[in-house]
Amino acid sequence: MEKSIENIWKEGFLKNDALVVPKINNLYDQKSIHIIDKFKRMFKINLIAIVFFAFAMLVVTTFNGLPIIGISWFLILIALVVINKKLTNSLKKMDYHKNSYEYLMSFNKWLQEQLAINRKMARLYYPLFFLSIVVGFWFVDAEGINLGERLIGEVLYGFPDIYLVNGVPLIGIALVLIIAGLLVLFGGRIYNLDVKIVYGRIFKKIEELITDLEELRN
Amino acid sequence: MSSDFYKTSILPFAGIIIKLCRAYTNSQEDFEDYYQEVCLQIWRSKENFKEESQWSTWVYRISLNVCLTLLKKKKNNVQHFVSDAVMDEETENNYAFSDEPLNLLYDAIRKLSEIDRAIIMLYLEEKSQKEIAEIIGTNGNNIGVRVKRIKTRLKKILDGKIN
């Protein structure tokens, strides 16, 4: 007589080998290595994307009469890539054969140092990006003269008594300096936001793993 | 994960976890990964358990969710040149029970859709229609009909293989 599937199920699992519980092992080691590898891959892709963007900016701005912006952004971005590439060298030396907690903690230490350096740099490069845009547009050709000079002419036409410093309206200089100052002040926070968008999920996972491992150690 | 929690809250349900993980994997390695991930997720989600349902229902639901998520991830990652034949061979060589009819039944179950696999296993574990519906998160009305349909399909696949 043909067995019913219910019987096959019941009888099959009566045998000793059918329900051997696997050992829980190495899970955290695998997870730590996996998550850090994922970060490394993302970081590498990010750096490559910045290099592509730097070249694209250089080409596009040059062909559109804004070479100052292109060259400045190119130099800043390439400097950023070089510094970050150097920072990853110490990451390569990290020993993943250590236990997962130590490996994660040393990675986290590297990450925090790297983020701190980048935060400091952000307070410099965000204002530089902004200033390069201002200078770039200032010198762009507007029907035979610089756009900046043309703008000053138009402002002076409307407000002939405006206060000038070296031929530039003080209010314009002040505005540019205030924005640059704000970027110095908030550059770190803008960087944090930028990093959170790209790496937020992975950082959260790392935090969760560290918390899990700390709970396990206690 | 504390060993106390594992012993008291997971191990009593290891049977069904093993059975579920087996239905969604093709190798011992994958099976162990799925099992470990299920245990880890049960542990991590223990604070979300609100006692509106039984702990066992919660465990089954987490197990199923983890298996389906891992399966989806694996499908996305799998290299398409790996043929089914290779997978079947792997299953036969490294991942078999000593009970041949059970192996054939599992092979047949693996041919079902992901949700049908869950339904039939919960049915075989003698869960009520209400419990099955609660675990898989559907309306309980058509579970009986669906079980009948799945059993017919399984019988067709197994036809002549088991005497």
Phi, psi of A142 (to 5 degrees): -125, 90
Instruction: Please report residues of B whose CB lies closer than 8 A to that of A12.
Output: 97, 99, 101-102, 105
We report the CATH number of the domain holding residue B64 as: 1.10.1740.10
Instruction: Indicate whether A147 pLDDT > 70.
Output: yes
Q: Is residue B91 part of a domain?
A: no
d(CA A56, CA B80): 35
Q: Could you tell me if residue B142 is inside a domain? A: yes
Domains of chain B: total: 2
CB of A217 within 8 Å of a chain B CB? The answer is no
- What ipTM was predicted for this assembly? 0.76
**Domain termination residue (choose one: B29, B49, B79):** B79
B96 close to A (CB below 8 A): no
Domain of residue B42, residue span:
1-79
Within a domain: residue B124? yes
> Is B70 in the same domain as B101?
no
Q: Does A5 contact B at CB distance below 8 Å?
A: yes
Claim to verify: residue B22 and residue B69 sit in the same structural domain: yes
Span A212-216, mean pLDDT?
71
3-state secondary structure of A141: strand
Q: Quick one: pLDDT at residue B83?
A: 42
Element of type H or E holding A145: strand A145-146
Indicate whether B56 and B8 sit together in one domain.
yes
Q: Which of B22, B54, B79 is the last residue of a domain?
A: B79
Segments of chain B with pLDDT less than 50: 79-93
- Boundary (domain end) residue, out of B49, B79, B109: B79
Q: Rg of chain A over CA atoms, in angstroms? A: 29
Do B1 and B75 lie in one domain? The reply is yes
In SS3 terms, A147-191 reads as HHHHHHHHHHHHCCCCCEECCEEHHHHHHHHHHHHHHHHHHHHHH
Task: Give the tens place of pLDDT for each residue, A75-113.
Answer: 999 999 999 999 988 887 777 666 777 888 888 899 999
Q: Tens digits of per-residue pLDDT, B136-158?
A: 877 777 888 899 999 999 988 88
Using the beta-carbon criterion (under 8 Å), do B101 and A12 form an inter-chain contact? yes
* Both tokens assigned to B121: 């296993």
Q: What percent of chain B has pLDDT over 90?
A: 6
Whether B1 and B62 share a structural domain: yes
Per-domain residue ranges for chain A? Answer: 31-217
Tell me the C-alpha distance between B163 and A181, whole Å. 83
Q: How far is the alpha carbon of A84 from chain B, nearest alpha carbon, in Å?
A: 30
Alpha carbon distance A101, A215 (integer Å): 11
Residue of B nearest to A19 (CA): B15
Coarse DSSP helix, strand, coil percentages of chain B, rounded to the nearest 5 percent: 75, 0, 25
Its pTM stands at 0.57
- Structural domain includes residue B90: no
Residue B40 lies in a domain: yes
Give the number of other CB atoms < 10 A from CB of residue B34.
Answer: 25
